[in-house]
Amino acid sequence: MVDPVVVRAAPSPTGDPHVGTAYVCLFNYALRTKRGGRFILRIDDTDRTRYNADSERKIIEELAWLGLTFDEGPETAGADGPYRQSERTAIYREAVQTLIDSGAAYRCDCTKERLDEVRAAQRARKEQPRYDGHCRERSVAPDAPHVVRLKVPRDGETSFLDGLRGTITIANSTVDDQVLLKTDQHPTYHLATVVDDHAMGVTHILRAEEWINSMPKHVLLYKAFGWDIPQHFHLPLLRNPDRSKISKRKNPTSITWYRENGFLPEALLNFLALMGFSLGDDQEEFTLDEFVAAFEPDAIKTSAPVFDLTKLEWLNGVYIRKTPAPVLAAKLVAISPMAAAADRTLLEAIVPLIAERMKRLTEFEDLCDFFFVDKIEPRYDDLIPKKRTETNTAAVLRAARDVVANSETLTPETLEASLRALGEEVSWKPRELFMSVRFAISGKKVTPPIIESMCLLGKAECIERLDDAIDVLGDPENPILAAPSS
């Protein structure tokens, strides 16, 4: 029996819920579910200028849509709250005081202007832009506006363990005296994350790779506080097709976008898992449970995967096909006004015809609109097969109309048999007959299987549409007898 873990996700409520957040959450969720323990949602809202009031709610909603659930968070009471960092300022202030008292941090009242000048000068000298330590040995009064900075050793190096990469060592000379507490008295990420992870008993930190270079600051903080360092695993960043860090300019990044564009949560989750983990055995399709069972944190990939929307679409199609019709119908209703307005029984009957034709649920409307309109207006040219004439086509469609009219009830088997028999009779290839009928019934070239579609549409509606098509071809009052084309 392995020890339970405490993991967390710490999204920042500054915008739309990000797929990167879902990606990181998935791996945290997997570890917590595999090992037992707790998964905490902590809202990192320490940047009050970028704060977006809707964002937190959206993040929680979209993660819930994906099926990634938390044991503790702003909306799930637990023993480690509050779960918004903006509500924990007293904790950080106290922590900062400890650091100042021990000499690990210091107050700084340098103005933005001075900082800019210093950095500009450093850049001009081709040096690393960084804080020059101006306030390191000064004593800045606590009652005047100031920030608190971490006093990073000038030399030496800091090593830490990454669960995926082993020991990483970074020279302290490349680490800046990071601001820990901002002028507005809110902490920066670095302080808040270390303080909270410790306070909440976090044992494993699975987060994005972009934090690796910040690790020395965090290690220094853990040491200054005298705290144990949780195990860290830095996940590779999801990438745009050009291999840069995934961004909304180059790739959809909002989870909301994926939901609204007809992606299934199971498919997105499966795909994200594939981006960072391999089940081996060439197994690419798996459930969340199967992923969790196979998951081992130290087997997470280190190389950065390109987020390939095309492959996601394929996988989404796989999931659509394996979703039971009633469930798929419900999902369509949730996303498509046309599906929502449709008769539910009819919708559920249509679903099996289109399930294998959709990569996204949003394709439903294009595929099925002809079921829900009153009148089809087939184009003259579409109705007449190549090498057939107007009069001949009108006659054949009239015969098809009669086939329908003479049927007791429309069933796929009998309708197909009679239409094929008709085709034979008039020497039309099945392909020609069905295409002409398809245009008459749907007005379009690509549809679900037309026989089944006609059965769902109903006898009366089919007769009406065939009559309309015959009208398009010529004078209905002047019937033309069926005649062989050659």
Token output for 324: 């039971």
Instruction: Provide the sign of the torsion angle of the four alpha carbons 448, 311, 30, 289, taken in this order.
Output: positive
Query: What's the chain's Rg over C-alpha atoms?
Result: 32
Smallest gap from Cβ 436 to RNA, in A, equals 10
User: Which C-beta is closer to RNA: that of 203 or that of 447?
Assistant: 447
Cβ 448 to RNA, closest distance in Å?
Answer: 6
How would DSSP label each residue in 132-179? --TTTSS---TTSS-EEEE---SSSEEEEEETTTEEEEEEGGGS---E
Class of residue 454 by CB neighbours under 10 A (exposed 0-12, middle 13-18, buried 19+): buried
Q: In the numeric block, which tokens belong to residue 472?
A: 């398009």
For residue 230, say if its preceding peptide bond is cis, omega within 30 degrees of 0: no
Q: Which is nearer to RNA, 50 or 223 (CB)?
A: 50
Minimum distance of RNA from residue 476's CB (angstroms)? 25
| Closer residue to RNA (CB): 121 or 171 | 171
Candidates 245, 248, 444, 459; catalytic one: 248
* Distance in Å, CB of 463 to RNA, minimum: 18
In whole angstroms, the minimum distance from the beta carbon of 174 to RNA comes to 5
With beta carbons less than 8 A apart as the criterion, state whether 158 and 216 touch: yes
The enclosing H or E element of 37 equals strand 37-41
Cα separation, 101 vs 226, in Å, equals 14
Contacts (Cβ under 8 Å, ≥6 apart) of 423 = 429, 430, 432, 433
Please list, in sequence order, all residues whose beta carbon lies within 8 angstroms of the beta carbon of residue 213, skipping any fewer than 6 positions away: 170
Which of 391, 486, 404 is closest to 450 using CA atoms?
A: 404
Catalytic site includes residue 248? yes
Closer to RNA by Cβ: residue 102 or 302: 302
Question: Which residue lies nearer to RNA by CB, 303 or 478?
Answer: 303
CB of 203 to RNA, least distance (A): 20
Closer CB to RNA, residue 102 or residue 159?
A: 159
By annotation, the residues acting in catalysis are 248
